[in-house]
Amino acid sequence: MSSLTTVIKLSLYEVRVRIRSQRMVILGPLLILFIPGSVWGFADPNTTLPGQIAVDGAPTVMFLSSLFVLLSATLGVVLVGFDAISRPRMTGELAIDLAQPIDRRDLAMAHLFGVWGTVAIPVATLQLLSLGLIYRQMDIVPDPLDSGIWIMSTALLLFWYASLQLTASSMAQDLGSSVTFGVATWLFFTLLWLLVTVVIATLLGVDATDTSNLEFIRFQEHADLFSPNGVYQLILQSRLPEVARPTVHPVHLILSTIGWTLLPTGFYLQRFRNLKP
Amino acid sequence: MNTILELDGVRHLYHNSRATKAAARARSITPPRRGLIEADIRLEKGKILGLVGPNGAGKSTLMCVLAGILSPQKGTILLDGRPVDGDADQLRHRQRVGFMPERVGWSGPGTPKGVLQRLCVVRGLNRNIAMNLLETVGLRSRTNDLLSSLSQGMRQRLSLAVALMGDPEILLLDEPMNGLDPVAQGAFRDMIQQKADQGATVVISSHRLNELERIVNRVAIMNQGKIVTRGSFSSVEHDLGVGHRLLISGLGDSPKGHIMKNPFIEIEEIDGESDWNMRLTRHDQSWSADLRAELVELIGKEGARLTLMEIVPPNLEEILATATGLERNLALQEESE
């Protein structure tokens, strides 16, 4: 059996076990409420959004619902993955895994895909369902490219969070510190990033008191390249009508996407390679 | 050649991170801050080796090196006389080893069947063997129970099933009898003996010295990261100068006074006056037939009647204490620090 087949089979096993776990039973309704729920609301032609935001097509609905994806699905990865390495390490199950005739890199990837798939599969299913909701509410068939980018970028975002969370789990001394690290990372990128951006902008002399200031908007978009959430939203924003597209150069966005995909994963694989039971 | 796995001048220096120590503490294992193991050891086909030593001696680390989990910084691991070098060799090494770590706390949302089926995928085995293994270790009725609902003994059985997967040529078992009931311990001994008879090499690390004595035919004693002595029981006894005891019991006047005159015999323990028992040791370790006849004659001269005379070999606890220099009190003091 090739190592790729082994990785896929192990990942699917992990997904099967984790998806039936109690925490997914709690997380499931939350995802349903946040993803199809937000799409249902944003796609309603009678909805009036604050800040004169006009919903003029499916990409806008997808972009607006990304906020709810960031609040629910990424937290889901944190909750599913916080003990993926630290618990088996504490119980001794990891020693058994490491004693098996399998490359450590393959084992690490199986854990990563297992955690990622546990959240990404239900999220992608709900996103497909949401496309139906857009059609029902707005009477338009979402463009396959827009839909594909929405689903793929969400999957990519969850992959970034999974690799960050598994790195944390491999470093944690106990389950508490592992979940703390995961939640802190989530809070930092989800809620505190704007504050960090404002502080840095102010320190660099960019006027951050007026959020509609073009200079600040440009600065914020560039700063977002250093945040997984920011990159995710920039990708979706690039599918919006011309006036609402980000000022970030597409090459920078692509490089940042590649960076967020390779760097945390590479660091996690390196850690796993040197892991002691 | 009969040697299957050999550590040649292996040196592994480890500095346990806080995470590693926390993980060890969670399993009630004493976590050393850092340590060094230096080992030369040969595992021979069909032999059962007992690995003993005080807490923190480096037994579990040595087991991890033997299992291919930790790589030595110095020295060579030889498998069938060929050095284990590179990823492919390491996979080949681990393919032939079945490892049961100490006190695995199986938990989480899986089941015993699921655990074994997953590891069948890892080892490239048919998933159907999972049920056979569960039957072998007496977990057939708990196949689909949640791992968190298993008792410590059941978890040990599951760990043993994992170690037996793929019928490995080398079985490394770290404290395998923890939590097993006496009947299961008996079945475990029989199974290990059967595996050895079939040609498997078994290494058992255990603190249950009485149980270990009943299984192993060779012993290696570790202390402070080094193998102090190894070999058959008799060769280890000889190397360490641990003598056999002579137990004598009798009725009438005790021959204590006469025995004490012999400078080569020491009375370790004496109990009773007219119905007495004595435990004697000899510094040159031998209790020849002539010497025993002399003793019988001496006791007869005193007017006493001998009711028992038995040569008792030293037990593993005594051998360990001699090899490591640890006395019972000292050992307890060190543990409570």
Q: B94 and A101: CB-CB below 8 Å?
A: yes
pLDDT higher than threshold 60 for residue B333: no
Cβ-based neighbours of A256, under 8 Å, separated by 6 or more: A225, A226, A231
Token representation of residue A55: 């919903």
Residues of B within 8 A of A97 (CB-CB) are: 122
Per-residue confidence (pLDDT) for residue B58, from 0 to 100? 86
Per-residue confidence (pLDDT) for residue B332, from 0 to 100? 45
pLDDT higher than threshold 50 for residue B334: no
From A108, A123, A218, select the one nearest A170 (Cα to Cα): A108
Per-residue confidence (pLDDT) for residue B34, from 0 to 100? 67
Residues of B within 8 A of A172 (CB-CB) are: 19
Tens digit of pLDDT for each residue in B139-197?
999 999 999 899 989 999 999 999 999 999 999 999 998 888 888 888 889 999 999 99
Chain B contact present for A96, CB below 8 A: yes
A89: helix, coil or strand? helix
A268: part of which helix (H) or strand (E)? helix A250-273
Strands B82-83 and B305-312: unpaired
Per-residue confidence (pLDDT) for residue A129, from 0 to 100? 97
* Dist CA B185 CA A238 (whole Å): 67
Per-residue confidence (pLDDT) for residue B1, from 0 to 100? 53
Chain A contact present for B110, CB below 8 A: yes
Chain A contact present for B140, CB below 8 A: no
Strands B305-312 and B3-15: unpaired
* Dist CA A32 CA A54 (whole Å): 24
Chain A contact present for B109, CB below 8 A: yes
Interface test with A, best of B121, B160, B167, B171 (most A CBs within 10 A): B121
Look at the block and give the residue holding tokens 């690490």. A108
> Which among B27, B64, B99 is the nearest to A90, CB-wise?
B27
Q: Is A45 left (phi over 0), alpha (psi -120 to 50) or beta?
A: alpha
More confident residue, B238 or A272: A272
C-alpha distances (whole Å) from A3 to each of A106, A270, B99, B293 are: 7, 18, 22, 71
Tens digit of pLDDT for each residue in B252-274?
888 888 787 777 788 888 888 78
Q: A1 and B103: CB-CB below 8 Å?
A: no
Angstroms from B68 CA to nearest CA on chain A: 6
Cβ-based neighbours of A179, under 8 Å, separated by 6 or more: A78, A79, A82, A83
| Helix pair A250-273, A144-171: axis angle to 10 deg | 30
Chain B contact present for A252, CB below 8 A: no
Per-residue confidence (pLDDT) for residue B317, from 0 to 100? 77
From B164, B167, B166, select the one nearest B176 (Cα to Cα): B164
pTM (whole model) above 0.95: no
When pLDDT is averaged across residues B299-321 and rounded to a whole number, the result is: 81
Residue A225 gets which letter from DSSP?
A: G
A 158-177 near B (Cβ less than 8 A): 171-174
Q: B64 and A95: CB-CB below 8 Å?
A: yes
Q: From A171, which residue of chain B is nearest by alpha-carbon distance?
A: B19
Q: From B88, which residue of chain A is nearest by alpha-carbon distance?
A: A103
Chain A contact present for B94, CB below 8 A: yes
Q: B69 and A99: CB-CB below 8 Å?
A: yes
Longest dimension (CA), chain A: 60
Position A81, amino acid:
G
Per-residue confidence (pLDDT) for residue A96, from 0 to 100? 95
Query: Mean of the per-residue pLDDT values for chain B?
Result: 84
Q: From B68, which residue of chain A is nearest by alpha-carbon distance?
A: A99
| Percentage of chain B modeled with pLDDT above 90 | 36
Angstroms from B307 CA to nearest CA on chain A: 53
In chain A, which residues have pLDDT < 50?
Answer: none
* Dist CA B63 CA B205 (whole Å): 8
pLDDT confidence tier of residue B18, bands split at 50, 70 and 90: low
In order, the DSSP letters of B91-131 are HHHHHTEEEE-SS----SS--HHHHHHHHHHHHT--TTHHH
Cβ-based neighbours of B17, under 8 Å, separated by 6 or more: A276
Prediction ipTM score: 0.81
pLDDT confidence tier of residue B336, bands split at 50, 70 and 90: very low
Chain B contact present for A102, CB below 8 A: yes
Look at the block and give the residue holding tokens 């970030």. A248
Within its chain, how far is the Cα of B25 from the centroid? 22
- Domain locations along chain A: 3-273
- Domain locations along chain B: 3-239, 243-312
Per-residue confidence (pLDDT) for residue A43, from 0 to 100? 92
CATH H-level superfamily of B3-239:
P-loop containing nucleotide triphosphate hydrolases (3.40.50.300)
Domain B243-312 sits in CATH at 3.30.70
* Dist CA A14 CA A20 (whole Å): 10
Per-residue confidence (pLDDT) for residue B329, from 0 to 100? 47
When pLDDT is averaged across residues B1-18 and rounded to a whole number, the result is: 82
